[in-house]
């Protein structure tokens, strides 16, 4: 078996650092209201990884339970959101792609929750929309 790719990421201030191993299961832009509010962004790009491939290397992230069965990790110092874990995907950790040191390495393949997309978002990327 070959060596799995290792990717590292961190919050804005660098207090929390993490590593994920292997390739993502998927990469998607999420337009749901909950994710938009959690990040104060028009949409969020996530990558799903097997939960066991995610490791905190430094720091002690806070956990916010944003809705039943959902936990979002963030830096307690600078507030940067880092991960999403939910009962709907019990074996996955979803990382915010732009918290990676090299976010350009992961290419989104779809948009999700587009029924909640803001009306002024017009992306011409030709990705599937769900």
Query: Which CATH number applies to 6-116?
Result: 2.170.150.70
Q: Is the pLDDT of residue 1 over 50?
A: no
- Relative to beta strand 26-30, strand 92-96 is unpaired
Q: Does the predicted TM-score (pTM) go above 0.85?
A: yes
pLDDT tens, position by position, 16-70: 999 999 999 999 999 999 999 999 999 999 999 999 999 999 999 999 999 999 9
d(CA 77, CA 39): 15
Taking the domains of the chain in order of start, what are their residue ranges?
A: 6-116
Q: What pLDDT, in 10s, does the model give residues 3-25?
A: 678 999 999 999 999 999 999 99
Tokens 């060596």: give the residue: 3
Q: How many whole angstroms separate alpha carbon 119 and alpha carbon 31?
A: 11
pLDDT the model gives residue 3: 60
Q: In what helix (H) or strand (E) does residue 85 lie, and over which residues does it extend?
A: strand 81-86
């Amino acid at each position: 078996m070959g060596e799995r790719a290792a990717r590292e990421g961190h919050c804005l201030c660098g207090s929390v650092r993490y590593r994920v191993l292997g390739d993502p299961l998927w990469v998607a832009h999420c337009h749901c209201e909950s994710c938009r509010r959690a990040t104060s962004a028009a949409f969020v790009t996530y990558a799903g990884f097997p939960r066991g491939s995610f490791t905190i290397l430094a720091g002690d992230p806070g956990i916010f339970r944003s809705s039943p069965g959902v936990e979002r990790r963030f830096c307690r110092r600078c507030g940067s959101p880092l991960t999403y874990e939910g009962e709907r995907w019990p074996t996955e950790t979803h990382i915010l792609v732009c918290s990676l040191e090299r976010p350009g390495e992961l290419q989104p393949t779809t948009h999700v929750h587009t029924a909640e997309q803001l009306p002024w978002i017009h992306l011409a990327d030709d990705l599937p929309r769900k």
